[in-house]
Structure 1
Amino acid sequence: MKTFRNLFLFGILLFAAISMQAQTQPVDDNGLAIGGYDVVAYFSGGAKKGSKSYMAKHNGATYYFSSNANKMAFTKAPEKYLPQFDGWCAWGVAAKDTKFPINPETFDVMDGKLYLFFNGPFNGEPFNTYEDWAQRTSELKKAAHAKWPKVKNSK
């Protein structure tokens, strides 16, 4: 019985760890953008889940915000807060010429722009694309912006 309980607890912990590293499409099948994270909050220092109570639509996607002030800031100037590359992994665009899903808690704000990254299991191993981005930011940022028009139209 004790072994079963320990296995059950291990399973719960494993599920929680995997869930915390979950990847999401920039806009999911229900139209929710960035996994429900507040795109304005990134600019004040952190990834923060939004709430259905503070919701706005933009270009067919639904964005959640953690406060009415953030919602209002977004509705006044959405382009200021939208992530680069339509929310796809910046590293994936730059290094692999493709669209990777993102972990909304792995991000960078530079030069007033939001960049999101894949960070989770890949082929059974942990893989955080931000690590390479941080090492080669200038090179990868330039490459991503140059490649985005072609990658944007790919499937």
Structure 2
Amino acid sequence: MNPVLENWVGALTVIVGTVLVQVNVQAVLLRILAARAPAVADGGLAGRRTLRSLRILSLATVFVLISGHLVQVALWTLLYLALGEFQHIQDAAYFSLASFTTVGAADLELSRSHRVLGALEAGIGMLLFGWSTALLVSLAGRVQAQQADRGE
């Protein structure tokens, strides 16, 4: 297959996969949070218990989002391995995580014909981290609004 076409087919496949992971992780989170929100919002828990419950929900949200991002990194890792860019999964995973987080892997690089994939992964990683951050900010805003409504 033509390397340029191979790049775009592989990249589009992984991009669709990463977006599907993001959507599904956030759908699960929203279901969990919606199920827990009434117990917190209706005053069923008092004072410190409410605060502890909100902290636990916040921590769970962050860890679920991080897990989703690690699955997304794994998809890119598999692409690099399928293209033969790395011989060892550790190198592919390290390169992928460094690219996804935009840190960059100074000691590893893709071949010239696949170099564009690292840049695409960095762009998608920034977008998906931004998407997760927007969800966290939205949830924090809702919690603050509920606390304000209750006079806390």
TM-score by length of 2: 0.25
TM-score by length of 1: 0.25
Indicate the structure with greater helix content. 2
Higher Cα Rg, which structure: 2
User: RCO (CA 8 Å, sep 6+): is it higher in 1 or 2?
Assistant: 2
Indicate the structure with greater strand content. 1
